[in-house]
Amino acid sequence: MIASPRRKEMIQEQYMDFAAYLEHGIQAIENTGITILECRDRYVKIKLPLFGNTNHLGMMYGGSLCILGEVSGGAISGVSFGVTDYVPIIKEIKVRFTRPAVSDVVLEASLSEDTVKECLGKIAEKGKADFALTLELRDVADAVVARVDGLYQVRPLPPGMPNPVVGFAAKLKG
């Protein structure tokens, strides 16, 4: 889990709770067995294992690939806007399957500093901001198995809403 020294090098300290939450905080996502491989300012790399996510033909189940695409918006939102002050919302997702995935699948997502600044300006003005991601899901041979176009929204954490991320890693050890 999070205790691996190598893992700590790939996940910046300020995102350790967040990475644990992404992997274990929502049951449906936890059931896929995703692993946060890298987590740093404005960048995440997530792995979805083939094991436990196969369909009736022995290839990656399409629904699991959809979950990987969906969770990426929340993941990139947390490392771009802050895991304690903002919440992400999925508005729209389109997945195009390009070839069967018969191995683990990896997704990388990033946001530019300019996009983050633009969104923060919109949040200050309107209380929310949309951002779009176009992502490629790749197998271990680096072949694209799916493309995801997602529209996500980020908003300030509502007053009084407890933040589920804070202290999450300690709760897991608990």
Q: Is 70 exceeded by the pLDDT of residue 1?
A: no
- The answer to whether residue 67 is domain-embedded is yes
For residue range 71-96, what is the model confidence (pLDDT) as tens digits? 999 999 999 999 888 999 999 999 99
Q: Label residue 65 exposed, middle or buried (CB < 10 Å: 0-12, 13-18, 19+).
A: buried
The CATH number of residue 37's host domain is 3.10.129.10
- The answer to whether residue 33 is domain-embedded is yes
Whether the model pTM is above 0.85:
yes
Q: Is residue 133 within 8 Å of 109, Cβ to Cβ?
A: yes
Task: Read off the tokens for 90.
Answer: 């999925």
Count up the domains in the chain and report the number: 1
- The answer to whether residue 126 is domain-embedded is yes
What local confidence, expressed as pLDDT, does residue 171 receive? 78
Q: How confident is the model at residue 8 (pLDDT cuts 50, 70, 90)?
A: low
- The answer to whether residue 75 is domain-embedded is yes
Please tell me the distance from the alpha carbon of residue 23 to that of residue 127, in angstroms, as a whole number. 28
